[in-house]
Amino acid sequence: MSTTVNVGMIGCGGIAMGKHLPSLAKIPEVRITAFFDVAWDRANEAKQKFGTPDAKIYDNVNDLLRDPDVQVVHVCTPNDTHAEISIAALEAGKHVLCEKPMAKTAADARRMLETAERTGKKLSIAYQNRYRRDSLWLKEAARAGELGEIYLAKAHAVRRRAVPTWGVFLDKEKQGGGPLIDIGTHALDLALWMMDNYEPRTVLGTSYRKLAEQGSQANEWGSWDPSQFTVEDSAFAMITMKNGATIWLESSWALNTLDVDEAKVTLCGTKAGADMKGGLRINGEEHGRLYTKEVQLGSVWDNSVPNDAPEKEARAWIDAILHDREPVVTAKQALVVQQILEAIYESADKGQAISFE
């Protein structure tokens, strides 16, 4: 078994510099040896901050993938390139961690999965919210049966005014969608994972472009140009599963609401319920009384909970490679997320429910 892993970073923008590279740099067994970005300056900055002394910057993706010393690549590029780059990397014998969503389309996501299965290389998708402390605690409670049968979940991904106005987030051609595929995907992944239920039956979805047409001086990242805002500003869906369970998904970058939360879930089971709003709470009935329990995730002296999820994600991913284990986020799970997202968009366009049967 190898004791080190050489990683190549494909795409050196905000998500790579803010999440992937700092997290990988903290793992002793990782050497970040290769960089590519369409903007050479970004690749150079990433190399200078996080690369090994002998790290290389490549002029194109294929040259990086031909480097025999690179065993793993992280794909941090626009959604429409996820499949093309990931498939090429798998074919080149690399393990791949791809940023969410898995791909722009479900068909592309399926091709990624099939390539991983054929090549025997590991493929995972960056759903780092699974590694938050509240997520891990609640997953263990659900796995242990403490909630009973979870038959209703709410997946929350709602912002009041936080439209990402940089990069290609507002470009439907490159991204495939707006808040649903950007932040709704995190909430949906959490809900499916907590329920351990990956068999959808029907999807009924709606999407809106109400505030997109107006612009906003109060937006967290500056006002947007409505003519360049080609994706939805909000999308909602009711998802029914083959076992009868229901998931309500809400996603928005801009909505006139005070009920905001992101990458959170509410779970309702036959024994107890749980929600992540303002902290992790469990509720139920015991000894003839209703109870609500707040779960303490920090120390007894400090209840603040640092967000170390990106570091845990990177550590778990590298451990899966070093010890030849299945990744925490499997490509099969991520494919179901992608299929549901696509069905929501299809349902919204057609104005009717979409069946998986």
Tell me the pTM: 0.95
Confidence of residue 297 (pLDDT cuts 50, 70, 90): confident
Q: How confident is the model at residue 298 (pLDDT cuts 50, 70, 90)?
A: low
Question: In this predicted model, what pLDDT tens digit does every residue of 96-127 receive, in sequence order?
Answer: 999 999 999 999 999 999 999 999 999 999 99
The pLDDT value given to residue 300: 45
Q: pLDDT-based confidence at 135, cuts 50/70/90?
A: very high
CA distances from 43 to 10, 47, 50, 255, 339 (A): 9, 6, 10, 36, 33
| DSSP secondary structure of 290-333 | EEEEE---S-SS-------HHHHHHHHHHHHHHTT---SS-HHH
Task: Give the count of alpha carbons within 13 A of 104, CB side only.
Answer: 17
**CATH 3.40.50.720 residue ranges for the chain:** 5-129+312-328
Under the phi-then-psi rule, with left for phi > 0, alpha for psi from -120 to 50, and beta for the rest, what region is 234? Answer: beta
CB 195 within 8 A of CB 142: yes
Residue 321: pLDDT over 50: yes
Q: Is the pLDDT of residue 302 over 60?
A: no
Q: What is the pLDDT of residues 214-265, one digit of tens each?
A: 988 999 999 999 999 999 999 999 999 999 999 999 999 999 999 999 999 9
Nearest to 154 by CA among 19, 238, 218, 248: 248
From the number of C-beta atoms within 10 Å of its C-beta (0-12, 13-18, 19+), residue 59 rates as: exposed
Beta bridge partner(s), residue 206: 236
Superfamily of domain 130-305+337-355: Dihydrodipicolinate Reductase; domain 2 (3.30.360.10)
Indicate whether 301 pLDDT > 50.
no
Backbone phi, psi, residue 113, to 5°: -60, -45
CATH class for domain 5-129+312-328?
A: alpha beta
Task: Note the pLDDT of residue 206.
Answer: 98
Buried b (16+ CB within 10 A) or exposed e, 295-327: eeeeeeeeeeeeeebbbbbbbbbbebbbeeeeb
- Given this model, what pLDDT does residue 48 score? 98
Q: What is the mean pLDDT of the chain?
A: 95
Domain with CATH 3.30.360.10 in the chain: 130-305+337-355
Supply the pLDDT for residue 296. 86
Instruction: Identify the pLDDT of residue 277.
Output: 84
Cβ atoms of 147 and 273 closer than 8 Å: yes
